[in-house]
Each structure stands twice: as structure tokens, then as C-alpha cells.
Amino acid sequence: MQFNAIQIATLLGGKIEGSPDAKVTHVAKIEEATEGAICFVANPKYEDYIYSTKASVVLVNDSLQLNGTVSPTLIKVPDAYISFALLLEKYTEMMTQNERKGIEQPSFVAPSATIGKDVYIGAFSYIGENSKIADGVRIYPGSYVGRNVTIGECTKIFAGVKIYDDCIIGNHTIIHSGTIVGGDGFGFAPQSNGEYKKIPQIGNVIIEDHVEIGANTTIDRATMGSTIVKSGVKLDNLIQIAHNVEIHENTVIAAQTGVSGSTKIGKNCLIGGQVGIVGHIHLADGTQINAQSGISKSIETQNLVLNGSPAFDYKTSLKSQAIFRHLPEMQQRIQKLEDLVSKLTEIISVSQNIDTGK
């Protein structure tokens, strides 16, 4: 496919500086771009590449101030990162217009299942009894959809995903390969003889609209009721969401994070990689947690930034880390001060004895 700068600028509502006829045939990173490429600069660290790149078109922020001449055509937009994401989205839509439709064989679709229009079900997939697959859904090969599952419009289920019985998936959601939705929660009752008795997990998982779930993530079904992932949530690869957890709108969680049972995570939270969150607590809206932090109690203050394990206020934790690095030196200084105080105490004691004639 080939486009020119004026077509792209019209799509994005941007302003052109340079040739409106500059041709674009592919996308690339600015430091690796060749002729015909379009790329973007949103991070100031990459601005110097504007003067050396071989790209034909570069998206930049309106606020960019040039310090020299540039060879590519520039398209100025309010936010280059968002505009480039929109451009990639449109490009993907065009590339997928001719995707396959229908049910490939061998596959199994239960007679009681409802299949909408323009659905794709890849080979070796399984659709269980009474499941409802809405219009435009794409289920890639080797996927499992259990009984009484609902999958909303235009949702993509990539290869090897397993969705257990009774789960509900919303519209325009993406679930990447290897993810398991609705596996049993980790519920066991200790017995007097030291054994553990399994507690049946009879709830389900509800995933709302415009959610994206990375590869090999697991979301456990509720013991009773529902484990809920609200609209707009983005989950990275290799995340564990336990039974009865609730993750509210537009929260983002990075890889290898574990959320224990019955925890409630608010809206617009940002959670870094390898964070551990204990069960039965609440995180306020806008909570931000740095990577490898441990959350052991509820966070009631909105928009708080946390760090460390156990996590506490970000700035305080950084000060504590700075002090921790100097502990050996501080110990030596404290020892010297103690020795000095001891000597001064002896001198004062001798002086007092002399004054009293002792």
C-alpha cells in the first residue's frame, strides 16, 4: 500500500511542513527508517534523529522547535504518539479487511451454540453448548470455549486461549494466546488432619468491553459471584488475577504481577511489573505502584505513588533507599560519636571530681 503525506495529514488532522506529495509505503523506527518510511518522535531523547533520518515522513508534536533543516516531510499534531497509534490502528484495519471467515475443519461447534455473522473459528477449536458468539468475532486455531460462554462483537480470541464455562467476554476485546479465563480459584479449606479440602469454585469471570489481555495470563473464576475486569483495562503477559478480584476501568497492569483473591483495584491505576498484592484489600482510583513493590494493606488515598516492599510513599521510599546505601558508613560514624561521647563523659566526670575536691 502507498499513501502520501497529505492523505495522512488529513486523516490525523495535522499540519504539513515539507512536500505534501511525499510517499509512504511502510512504518519504521526513526533511527532505522529508510526512504518511504513514516515514523514519529514524541520523546525528546529521539529529536536529534529528525536531522539525520532517511524517513520520508515524520510525525512530530506541535510544540517541537527545530534547531536546523530537516529532509523528511513533517506532520505536526498535538500528540505524535497518539496520532501514530491511530495510524497503526487504521493500517491494521485495512490489512485485516480480507481476513478469513467461516468455520475451519476440523472444529467442533455444539448444535446449541449461537454463531453470529462474519465469524471466524479456526481449525481445532471447540465451542461448547449454549455458547453465544456475536458478529465479527475471531477465534483462532486451537482455542477452547466452554459451555454457556458469551463472547461480544468483534472480539479476538487468539490461538490456544481457554475460556471456561459460564464466562462472559465483552465487545472489541482482545485475548492473546495461552491465556486461561475462568480456571478454578485457589480455594482450599485446611482440615484437622493437615490435609486441604478443595472448595468448589462456582462463580464465573466477566470481562467487559475494550479490554486487552496479554499472552499466558490467568484470570480465575470466582468462588461465588464473579471475578470482574471492567472496560478499558489492559493486562500484560504472565499476570495472575485470583478469584473474586475486581479491576476497574482503564487500569493498566504490567507483566508478572499477582493479585490475590477478593482484592478491588480502582479506576485508572498503573501497576508495574512483578508487583505482589495481597488479598481482601482495596486500591483507590489512580494508584500508581512501581515495579517489584509489595502491597500489604488497602490504599485509601487517590493518585498515590507507591514503591518498595512493603510499599509506601514513593518519595519517602527513595529517601529510605538512599539512607540504606550509606548504612555501613553511618554505623562507623555513630560508633565514633559514641566513643567521643564516652570520652567526653569521662573528662566531665574527672573535671567535676576535681572541682569538688574528690
Catalytic residue among 210, 243, 280, 282: 243
Domain membership flag for residue 321: no
- Cα distances from 46 to residues 60, 64, 85, 154, 194, in angstroms, run 11, 12, 17, 36, 60
- Cα distances from 196 to residues 183, 186, 191, 279, in angstroms, run 19, 11, 6, 19
SS3 33: coil
Q: How far apart are the C-alpha atoms of 185 and 224, rounded to whole Å?
A: 10
From first to last of its 358 residues, the chain has per-residue pLDDT tens of 689 999 999 999 999 999 999 999 999 999 999 999 999 999 999 999 999 999 999 999 999 999 899 999 999 999 999 999 999 888 877 776 667 789 999 999 999 999 999 999 999 999 999 999 999 999 999 999 999 999 999 999 999 999 999 999 999 999 999 999 999 999 999 999 999 999 999 999 999 999 999 999 999 999 999 999 999 999 999 999 999 999 999 999 999 999 999 999 999 999 999 999 999 999 999 999 999 999 999 999 999 999 988 887 888 888 888 888 888 898 999 999 999 999 898 888 877 777 666 5
Instruction: Count the domains in the chain.
Output: 3
One DSSP character per residue, 142-211 reads: T-EE-TT-EE-TT-EE-TT-EE-TT-EE-TT-EE-TT-EEEEPP--EEE-TTS-EEEPP---EEEE-TT-
SS3 content of the chain, % helix, strand, coil (to 5): 20, 30, 50
| Last-in-domain residue among 95, 130, 164 | 95
Do residues 252 and 300 both lie within one domain?
Answer: yes
In which domain, by residue range, is 84 found? 3-95
Domain membership flag for residue 348: yes
SS3 27: strand
pLDDT value, residue 46: 93
Name the grid cell of 172. 472489541
pLDDT value, residue 353: 73
Do residues 260 and 338 both lie within one domain?
Answer: no
| Last-in-domain residue among 63, 95, 127 | 95
Domain membership flag for residue 13: yes
Do residues 112 and 238 both lie within one domain?
Answer: yes
| Residue 282 annotated to the active site | no
pLDDT value, residue 98: 64
Do residues 58 and 111 both lie within one domain?
Answer: no
pLDDT value, residue 243: 98
pLDDT value, residue 15: 96
pLDDT value, residue 350: 78
pLDDT value, residue 295: 96
| Last-in-domain residue among 61, 95, 129 | 95
Do residues 91 and 236 both lie within one domain?
Answer: no
Q: In the chain, how many H helices and how many E strands?
A: 4, 40
pLDDT value, residue 355: 67
SS3 281: coil
Do residues 278 and 345 both lie within one domain?
Answer: no
pLDDT value, residue 74: 97
Site of grid cell 479456526: 122
pLDDT value, residue 97: 62
Do residues 288 and 330 both lie within one domain?
Answer: no
Do residues 128 and 246 both lie within one domain?
Answer: yes
Q: How far apart are the C-alpha atoms of 254 and 273, rounded to whole Å?
A: 5
